[in-house]
Amino acid sequence: MTLKGRDFLTLLDFTPEEISYLLELSAELKEKKKKGILHDELRGKNIALIFEKNSTRTRTSFEVAAHDLGMGVTFLDPQSSQIGKKESIADTARVLSGIFDGIEYRGFGQEIVEELAKYSDVPVWNGLTNEFHPTQILADFLTVKEHFGYLKGIKFVYMGDARYNMGNSLMIGCAKMGMEFTACAPEKYFPDKALIAKCEEIAKETGAKLNFISDPEIACKGADVIYTDVWVSMGEPVEVWEERVKELLPYQVNAEKMKIAGDKCIFMHCLPSFHDLKTKIGKEMGERFGLDAFEVTDEVFESEASVVFREAENRMHTIKAVILATLK
């Protein structure tokens, strides 16, 4: 299989076989890294990383993956580059594709990364937009596969704001891989109807099942994975916190929900997470709303069932697979 020259903008563009291939390649690269076997197969190539929003995992994963593959990396942010202020995305794409072999973009609307890809001659990788976060899904699925040994049929429950990048992308991923995806939230937080319809079509081919349930007791029963994400995403106005806390608190992942799921259930989160008040925003909001955690309790986050740090490590191995598969 070859994905050479392909962009990586959303998992909608990839077949289940291609996604499986990327997961297998990730596992191979992870094993090589653990054994200390050099894999600098892209020596002499260079990539650009554009971040219009903050990042810890995605940026460091792209940087370390590129270094391991023998590549050079240049980081660009809107403050220190011309992007957006003096130069359009279309012009930036044409400039950077003359200099680099691949471009990562993290920012706002999906249409921006699509515009970048349209004008770029080299692969463009989506490092998170408001709508999608496809590299995260590869890391999540590698983690699920490592834990359970398979993906097909896994009961995957997403709690919280399911209409943003994580909910959307996990629904697509689960549909592609024949899993049972449940979005558990008040109805207004379910993914966009047109995207649900697309995923239902995919599910018909793959045997996946999609559920949209507002009662956590029903949704969590028998879950293999309970997943959540922050209730307020990067770039959203601070005013939305009040409504989100009020509406999503019943969907906080806590010991009770993990118990409803059962002993085999694991807890996952893309991170960063407001599981305690040890961050500036967490403390500020915790004091404001009288809470000691938001989307997940500290008890669950720190429990044996939580695989969040292995999941975070897997960002690097899976991003490396995306870079290698699309450039080699």
Which residues form the interface with ligand CP (CB under 6 A)? Answer: 55-58, 128, 136, 270-271
Q: How many residues bind ligand NVA (CB under 6 A)?
A: 9
List Cβ<8 Å contacts ≥24 apart for 202-207.
202/172, 202/175, 202/176, 203/175, 206/16, 206/175, 206/176, 206/177, 206/178, 207/152, 207/178
229 a catalytic residue: yes
136 a catalytic residue: yes
Q: Which of 51, 156, 158, 164 binds ligand NVA (CB under 6 A)?
A: 164
Q: Residues 44, 46, 62, CA angle at the centre, nearest 5°? A: 120
106 a catalytic residue: yes
Q: How far is the CB of 58 from ligand CP (least distance, A)?
A: 3
Q: Build a one-symbol-per-residue string for 179-218: x at contacts with ligand NVA by CB under 6 A, - elsewhere.
A: ----------------------------------------
Q: Which among ligand CP, ligand NVA, none contacts residue 56 (Cβ within 5 to 8 A by kind)? A: ligand CP
Asked if 196 and 189 count as a contact pair (C-beta separation under 8 A), the reply is no
Q: Which among ligand NVA, ligand CP, none contacts residue 233 (Cβ within 5 to 8 A by kind)? A: ligand NVA
Choosing from 68, 252, 270, 275, which is the catalytic residue?
A: 270
CA of 269: how far to CAs of 7, 69, 309, in Å?
25, 27, 9
Q: Build a one-symbol-per-residue string for 111-140: x at contacts with ligand NVA by CB under 6 A, - elsewhere.
A: -----------------x------------
In the DSSP assignment, the letter for residue 191 is P
Q: How far is the CB of 128 from ligand CP (least distance, A)?
A: 6
- Helix ranges, the chain (H): 16-35, 57-68, 89-99, 110-119, 134-148, 165-176, 193-206, 216-220, 240-248, 255-261, 280-289, 298-301, 308-327
Choosing from 133, 163, 269, 275, which is the catalytic residue?
A: 133
Q: How far is the CB of 268 from ligand CP (least distance, A)?
A: 11
Q: Which among ligand CP, ligand NVA, none contacts residue 251 (Cβ within 5 to 8 A by kind)? A: none
174 a catalytic residue: no
Q: Residues 118, 161, 260, CA angle at the centre, nearest 5°? A: 135
Q: Which among ligand NVA, ligand CP, none contacts residue 229 (Cβ within 5 to 8 A by kind)? A: ligand NVA
